[in-house]
């Protein structure tokens, strides 16, 4: 590993790059698990197959990140039980247990994907080189997932706007609160259990990133997705403003 570390400008860059990959891989594995769970809850055979296919695509993303991390000799730490990721997973499992397919889609395909797409884009652009290509191409695939689900949710909203928006609001506060605590300037609920050593947020500047723009871009993409689904902007702004920060 020592030889690999030399490819990085500094030990700080090596560490923060390792942490970015650790988060990405852990996130993909959470996504994979979520879709696998979803497949369990679905009765319709076609939708079941689609969920498995999605799970497999998240698995491939995780593998892609893992392979490249290995090549770079990064110090990767995968931890699905890390506090934030685990709480998000638990929220997902809650809705899955109730066979609430729409809620599961909202959590995985809107909330988690908005953060993934935005942060992969920012991280890819900041890391540059082959990492950039990898992050951006995965972000592109995640975007397709998201667009597809947004269409489905538009139809759902159309059927009964009031009920749908109420439901979305509940899910927002259950899940986005966790993502918001996770992406706040300081880990609001303690160490994430994924980063090596200290929280990587303190070291993002070594790769020309900062937590405000990562978080701002992610929430902006989330807000845009909500706009496209058809949730009134005056509602979503209040939801977002009330997230812990």
Partner 1 sequence: MRTSELEELPISKIKAIYDYIPPRGIFKMHVKSLTGIETNGLYIDTFIAPDKLNAQNLRANIQKVKDAVKVVHHLNIKMAILGGFTSLLLEGNFNDFEDYDMVLTTGNSLTSAYVVKGLEKAAREHGISMSESNVLVIGATGDIGMACTNYLKGKVNRLLLCARNMNRLKTFGQRLLDEGHEVKYSSDLSELAPEADLIISVASSSEIAISSLKPKVIICDAGYPKNLEEKVEKVPGVFLFHGGMGQLKHGYSFNPDYTSQFYRYPAPHLGHGCIIEIILMAFEGIKENFSMGKGNITSEKIDLMYELSLKHGIELAPFYNSDGILEASKNNSTT
Size of the site for Fe ion (CB under 5 A): 4
Stretch that binds Fe ion, among 8-16, 22-30, 153-161, 199-207 (CB under 5 A): 22-30
Query: Smaller CB distance to partner 1: residue 132 or 235?
Result: 235
By Cβ distance, which residue is nearest to Fe ion? 61
DSSP class of residue 25?
Answer: H
- The two most distant CA atoms of the chain are separated, in Å, by 59
Using CA of residue 202, residue 208, residue 213, residue 217, what is the dihedral sign? negative
215 near partner 1, rule: CB under 8 A: yes
Q: How is residue 214 written in tokens? A: 């990562």
Q: Residue 232 binds what, of partner 1, Fe ion, none (CB under 5 to 8 Å, by partner type)?
A: partner 1
DSSP class of residue 112?
Answer: I
Q: Residue 41 binds what, of Fe ion, partner 1, none (CB under 5 to 8 Å, by partner type)?
A: none
Alpha-carbon gap, residue 20 to 131, rounded angstroms: 11
Question: Burial code of 52-75, b = ≥16 C-beta within 10 A, e = fewer?
Answer: bebbebbbebbebbbebbeebbbb
What are the C-alpha distances in Å from 57 to residues 22, 25, 148, 183? 18, 13, 15, 25
Q: Which residues contact 86 (CB under 8 A, 6 or more apart)?
A: 80, 193
Alpha-carbon gap, residue 225 to 169, rounded angstroms: 14
Q: Residue 219 binds what, of partner 1, Fe ion, none (CB under 5 to 8 Å, by partner type)?
A: partner 1
Q: How is residue 81 written in tokens? A: 């039980």
44 near partner 1, rule: CB under 8 A: no
Q: Residue 134 binds what, of partner 1, Fe ion, none (CB under 5 to 8 Å, by partner type)?
A: none
Kindly tell me which residue out of 61, 87, 89, 172 binds Fe ion, with binding defined by CB under 5 A. 61
For residues 39 to 58, the per-residue mask of contacts with Fe ion, x marking binding by CB under 5 A and - elsewhere, is: -------------------x
| Alpha carbon 44 to chain centroid, angstroms | 27
**Residue 169: CB minimum distance to partner 1, A:** 6
**Interface of this chain with partner 1, residues 172 to 191, rule: CB under 8 A:** 173, 185
239 near partner 1, rule: CB under 8 A: yes
Where does this chain bind Fe ion (CB under 5 A)? Answer: 28, 31, 58, 61
Where does this chain bind partner 1 (CB under 8 A)? Answer: 169-170, 173, 185, 212-213, 215-217, 219-220, 223-224, 227, 232-243, 245
């Amino acid at each position: 590993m020592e030889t690999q570390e030399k490819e990085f400008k500094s030990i700080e860059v090596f560490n923060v790059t390792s942490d970015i990959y650790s988060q990405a891989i852990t996130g993909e594995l959470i996504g994979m698990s979520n879709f696998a769970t979803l497949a369990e809850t679905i009765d319709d055979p076609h939708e079941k197959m689609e969920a498995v296919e999605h799970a497999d695509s998240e698995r491939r993303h995780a593998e892609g990140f893992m392979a490249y991390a290995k090549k770079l000799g990064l110090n990767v730490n995968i931890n699905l039980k890390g506090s934030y990721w685990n709480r998000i997973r638990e929220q997902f499992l809650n809705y899955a247990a109730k066979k609430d397919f729409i809620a599961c889609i909202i959590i995985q395909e809107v909330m988690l994907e908005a953060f993934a797409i935005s942060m992969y884009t920012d991280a890819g652009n900041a890391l540059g080189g082959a990492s950039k290509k990898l992050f951006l191409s995965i972000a592109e695939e995640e975007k397709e997932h998201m667009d597809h689900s947004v269409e489905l949710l538009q139809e759902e909203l159309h059927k009964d706007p009031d009920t749908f928006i109420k439901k979305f609001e509940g899910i927002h506060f259950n899940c986005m609160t966790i993502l918001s605590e996770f992406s706040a300037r300081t880990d609001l609920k303690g160490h994430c259990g994924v980063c090596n050593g200290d929280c990587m947020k303190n070291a993002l500047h070594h790769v020309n990133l900062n937590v405000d723009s990562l978080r701002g871009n992610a929430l902006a993409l989330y807000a845009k997705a909500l706009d496209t689904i058809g949730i009134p902007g005056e509602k979503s702004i209040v939801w977002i403003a009330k997230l812990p920060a």
